[in-house]
Structure 1
Amino acid sequence: MLMHSIVFATGNSNKIAEVSQLLDGKIDIQSLGDIGCEETLPETSATIAGNASEKAWYVHKNYKVNCFSEDTGLEVEALNGEPGVYSARYAGPAHDDEANMSLLLANMKGEEDRRARFHTVIALIIDGKEHQFEGVVEGQIIHHKKGNQGFGYDPIFMPDGYNRTFAQMSSEEKSSISHRGQAVQKLVAFLKGKV
């Protein structure tokens, strides 16, 4: 089946731009707004993979489109994997990046073990079948924010093997090594076979 466009079940324009860049214009990425989906997508699963799947199936069933959704969590060793599935709403339902980072840094105060990982799962639904793609990047939570690129926890996450945070990298550099970049590369390889 040839594919010319697909819906990315997100309202986050940063994520749409990141994925569109990786697809090289071969497939048009549509947003939820493009298909008239204004409602908040359900995220009731206790796992990142479960949330990605739940959102994608919701859009597929209600809007009859091929689509994909992703869910990403920051998992901090010293906090038993928190914030994990609650990363976007760690400090409350407002999805406030600054508040989330401040709360995380406060909860990490005095912790020597700064190990953390970003974990992304993409759930793709094409013709009623689900495919999942995963990406993980290991790193550290630093003590103070550095950089002004990116979004989310990027200013306090330094990937292993680098002396800069994600927020100090260009979007191209971040995408080449990041959790979402890894998962999207797998998605892109799959979708390019459909073009």
Structure 2
Amino acid sequence: MKIYFATGNINKVKEAKIILGDEFEVEQIKIEYPEIQGSLEEVAEFGARYVYEKLKKPVIVEDSGFFVKALKGFPGTYSKFVYETIGNKGILKLLEDVDDREAYFKSVIGYCDEFGVKLFIGKVDGKVSIEERGTEGFGYDPIFIPKGYNKTFAELGVEEKSKISHRKKAFEKFKEFLKFKKS
């Protein structure tokens, strides 16, 4: 079964392919869609519906956010913009002298076909490191340490991260849905 993944981020596609395995073919398509302001769920639902209307083929979009407790959930739904403007160094600067470094990643996959949109949500808890560590991964991976680990996502690498990430959890739910749909 072929799934079209509307994203410009090849790293997300690589992660999806690892998680979904050989059972499902994932093809990246680069279709721009308006990213509305709202919750991750609202963004994923709107994006999936918008792209489906253009393609008329089953499609997924994925929106994720990085939420830091001491910053009242910031950057949250603005994660991409914040990363592109102040980056990891900016987040670390905001957390200087802050003891509570609790944070989480949340991923929402929006899937749309002729029957409408379904959402699949994954979350991974952890904390923000004191400094950037690791060279693999992307975005906030060098500053996020998942709960139960001493290494950042960037130190764990894509293979290991793909076993425990927020995206993994969302894609596992999506995979179960697809298996049920096929039967």
Normalised by the shorter chain, which TM-score bucket? over 0.9
Residue from 110, 120, 123 that aligns with 2:107: 120
Matched, 1:100 2:92: no
1:81, distance to aligned residue in structure 2 (A): 0.3
Q: Deviations over 1:138-186 (max 9, x none)?
A: 1110110111111110010001111111111132221111111100111
So what's the TM-score if we normalise by structure 1? 0.88
Matched, 1:57 2:55: no
Q: Which residue of 2 aligns with 1:9?
A: 6
Matched, 1:82 2:79: no
- After the TM superposition, which residues 1-195 of structure 1 pair with which residues of structure 2 at under 5 Å, given as runs? 4-33=1-30, 37=31, 40-91=32-83, 95=84, 99-195=86-182
Distance in 2 between residues matched to 1:122 and 1:90, nearest whole Å: 21
- Greater percentage in helix: 2
Distance in 2 between residues matched to 1:11 and 1:140, nearest whole Å: 27
Find runs of 4+ consecutive structure 1 residues off by over 6 angstroms.
none
Q: Deviations over 1:96-115 (max 9, x none)?
A: 7xx42121111112211100
Supply the RMSD in Å over aligned alpha carbons.
Answer: 1.4
**Matched-pair contact (CA < 8 Å) for 1:26–1:192:** no
Paired residue total: 182
> Secondary structure at the residue paired with 1:193?
helix
**Matched-pair contact (CA < 8 Å) for 2:3–2:58:** yes
So what's the TM-score if we normalise by structure 2? 0.93
1:13, distance to aligned residue in structure 2 (A): 0.5
**Matched-pair contact (CA < 8 Å) for 1:5–1:29:** yes
Distance in 2 between residues matched to 1:58 and 1:180, nearest whole Å: 21
